[in-house]
Structure 1
Amino acid sequence: MTTTVRRTQQQRREEAEAALLAAAADLIGEEGVHSLTLARVGDRAGYSRGLVSHHFGSKGALVERLARSAQSGFVPGLEGLPPGLDRLLRLIDGYVNELGRMDASARAFLLLWAEAATTPALAAIFQERSQAFRAELCEDLVAGMREGAIRPDVVPDVTAIALLSQLRGIGMQLLSDPGQADIHQLRTQVTEVWRRALTREAGT
């Protein structure tokens, strides 16, 4: 006897939204945000335009939701790690590694980030995302300084900006010219450069 597991309305809603966001990410990665329409998103996901409108209301709301959700939990394996130098280096290494995979969500995130430079609505979203990322980096830097693993003359706020800029810059470079670098070598090199820059080894 086969038992059929019935999905709840909430489960169906979540599955539909995930499929629509994935379809939007695919289309943005292929043709850019300006080519995105609710009808094309629905068609790609196998739903009607009406369902896309029902879930998100407008193209702007859909893009905003995608910008907020893309790269959420981008680097696996950091959950539960205490803040400090080790977690920071794992984040750097893992971030570059994930950029090497460059899935549709990562491509869409980087393209939307670039678009934010000339789109006020997106700019506000990415300012918020960047602030949260910098705060996470600062937490690691401050904790590392407190425990003596990071040099005391490091300026957390400034260093966090430099780190964020380099990581996203690497993403844009890989997006514009895929396959230009050996990701294993790149992640190793970038992580080692930051380890040396942040520890007392830099002054020896």
Structure 2
Amino acid sequence: MPPPRRTQRERREQAEAALLDAAGELIVEQGVRALTLANVGERAGYSRGIVTHYFGGKQALVERLARASQVGFVPGLADLPPGLDRLLRLIDGYLGELGRIGANNQAFLLLWTEAITQPDLAPIFRERDEAFRADLREDVEASIADGTIDPGAEPAGVAVAVVGQLRGIALQRLLDPGSVDPESLRRSVSEHWRRALGVPSSK
């Protein structure tokens, strides 16, 4: 029997995924300034017109790529309640994922650095960073409430520091992969945050 025909929704989702993958690859290879709707469509095997149809323009394409790259980067967190376990799993999982980081995630980091000097990118990445920090603040607040960390911990400051540390390690890994071993960092970074937050050592 012939395979069942894909629905319109399935075809759209497949095309969007292929276009986002193509955009990520091109950003890693050539940088965001060289990215055009035409070369995204060509890389993905589609026309420029379909890129415009699905995303409207380059800005919307980049925004969708930023969101898609960040969501679910660390698997297994969605069902965890806010708290210390989620916080430490995020730190450990983020470092673990750096060992197998894909093109779209590399593109996110490159776009994040570009956002410092490009006004059209800055709002996208400010919003993404604020969402990241908000989750971390929620974890710290929940941990203070249930008594698992030092009540003197400052949620906003911890969130900024964790994001800064993880993104800094990721950028070093991107710049010089051989200089950063994510696996060897997983335990030491997690233990650093256990100590900083007043959590008994896991040893």
> TM-score band, normalised by the shorter chain?
over 0.9
Aligned to 2:178: 179
Structure 1 unaligned segments of length 5 or more: list them. Answer: none
Deviations 1:141-193 (A, max 9, x none): 01111111110110001111111111111111111111212221111111111
Q: 1:76 aligns to what SS in structure 2?
A: coil
Whether the 8 Å CA contact 2:28–2:107 is kept in 1: the answer is: yes
Alignment of 1:33-182 (within 5 A): 33-182=32-181
Q: Distance in 2 between matches of 1:131 and 1:49?
A: 33
Aligned to 1:17: 16
> For this pair of structures, how many residues does the alignment match?
201
Q: 2:177 aligns to what SS in structure 1?
A: coil
Q: Percent identity?
A: 61
Superposition deviation, residue 201 in structure 1: 4.8
Q: Distance in 2 between matches of 1:164 and 1:152?
A: 21
Whether the 8 Å CA contact 2:172–2:180 is kept in 1: the answer is: no
Q: 2:85 aligns to what SS in structure 1?
A: helix
Q: 1:121 aligns to what SS in structure 2?
A: coil
Superposition TM-score, scaled by structure 2 size: 0.94
Structure 2 unaligned segments of length 5 or more: list them. Answer: none
Superposition deviation, residue 46 in structure 1: 0.7
CA-based RMSD of the aligned residues comes to 1.4
Superposition deviation, residue 31 in structure 1: 1.3
Q: Distance in 1 between matches of 2:147 and 2:60?
A: 45
The one-letter code of the counterpart of 1:95 is: Y
Superposition deviation, residue 90 in structure 1: 0.5
Give the ranges of 4+ consecutive aligned residues of structure 1 lying more than 2 Å apart after TM superposition. none
Superposition TM-score, scaled by structure 1 size: 0.94
Q: Distance in 2 between matches of 1:188 and 1:113?
A: 26
